[in-house]
Homo-oligomer: A and B are copies of this chain.
Amino acid sequence: MPLPPEFHEIAKRVNNWGRWGEADEIGTLNLITDDVVRDAAATVRTGRRVPLALPLQQDGVQTGIVPGRVNPLHTMTQINYEMFGPGTVAISDDAVTMGLQAATHWDALTHVSHSGVIYNGRPADTVTAHAGARFSGIDKAPYIVSRGVLLDVARAKGLDRLPADHAVSPEDLDEAAEFGRVTVAPGDIVLVRTGQVQVFLAGDRQGYGFPSPGLSVHTPEWFHAHGVAAVANDTLTFEIIPPEIEGLWLPVHALHLVEMGMIQGQNWNLEKLSTACAQEKRHAFLLSAMPEPFIGGTGTPVAPVAVF
């Protein structure tokens, strides 16, 4: 079953292949220029910091829906071990096994493919077991610092959180921008708040993931038009699930990652950020969201921080 015509029509409109050259591996991150970063730093007025990562723990957001995407298993390899003899300084060390997309994370551009290709038209089979992603791995995106903009869709609608069947539309994004009195500009990292992460925070791990509100298949064009560098939200699936068009699973993933070359983030905890934006009366801030540079990684845990 090939992808339907609707998909390909949108794909044509948002496609960025070749835009930054044939050798490009980072897509819309090219939009984060030094000037953008300088201006983002200039938005800082109080120094207030808001971290956006969920805790990394065995009891995390994964429930087995995605095979192999395991919650972090954190183990101590040494506990107060007097390695150099009795009475000496003692060491505690630890290790972890986890899915790179298990908790708060960035998808690398290689996280999905369609029709046998990844971003910039490269063959999908350049992702291999022994080397991971040869092109556009997360290690190729070594710094992600820019202006962050919260589009608080739930709060703009006066809701704690969106209903599970709500597909966030371009109109919702406009409404939230207006609510936040902010204009999305080239190089911005947009954070879209649905409030869905509250379901997880309240202890319902199954309910958090499915069904879930999320981005509509029509939003990539909005992000494309605004020159957005990256998008993250507070859901497991990023886009609405089950999908809007029957049988068309993960179209937003394919449009963002493959067609636009725009990385995206999931499971970001935007609750405290929502409060902070309301209190600070602005929805733009300096955002640092550095990928861990896994060679060939198709994703990465990230511990983002907003600075006001």
Q: Is A44 an interface residue (CB 8 A)?
A: yes
Residues of B within 8 A of A73 (CB): 68, 70, 77, 95, 97
A85 and B127 contacting across the interface, CB-CB below 8 Å: no
A113 and B90 contacting across the interface, CB-CB below 8 Å: yes
Residues of B within 8 A of A128 (CB): 76, 79, 81
A298 in complex: contacting residue of B58, B94, B125, CB < 8 Å:
B94
A1 and B85 contacting across the interface, CB-CB below 8 Å: yes
Instruction: Enumerate the 8 nearest inter-chain pairs by beta-carbon distance, A residue then B residue, closest first.
Output: A68-B77, A37-B47, A38-B47, A34-B47, A41-B44, A75-B75, A288-B288, A79-B129
Q: Is A99 an interface residue (CB 8 A)?
A: yes
Stretch at the interface among A13-21, A139-147, A150-158: A139-147
A111 and B92 contacting across the interface, CB-CB below 8 Å: yes
Stretch at the interface among A49-57, A161-169, A208-216, A226-234: A49-57
Given known A47-B35, A73-B68, contact A295–B127 (CB-CB < 8 A): no
Q: Which of A108-128 contact B (CB under 8 A)?
A: 110-116, 124-125, 127-128
Residues of B within 8 A of A48 (CB): 34, 37
Q: Is A193 an interface residue (CB 8 A)?
A: no
Stretch at the interface among A170-178, A195-203, A249-257, A260-268: A249-257
CB<8 Å pairs between A and B, sample of 6 = A34-B49, A35-B47, A70-B73, A89-B249, A95-B97, A288-B305
Residues of B within 8 A of A36 (CB): 47
B304 and A290 contacting across the interface, CB-CB below 8 Å: yes
1/0 contact string of A31-43 vs chain B (CB within 8 Å)? 0011111111110
Minimum Cβ distance to chain B for residue A52 (Å): 10
Given known A80-B125, A85-B1, A249-B89, contact A286–B41 (CB-CB < 8 A): yes
Given known A97-B96, A99-B95, contact A75–B77 (CB-CB < 8 A): yes
Least CB separation from A51: chain B residue: B142
Q: Is A278 an interface residue (CB 8 A)?
A: no
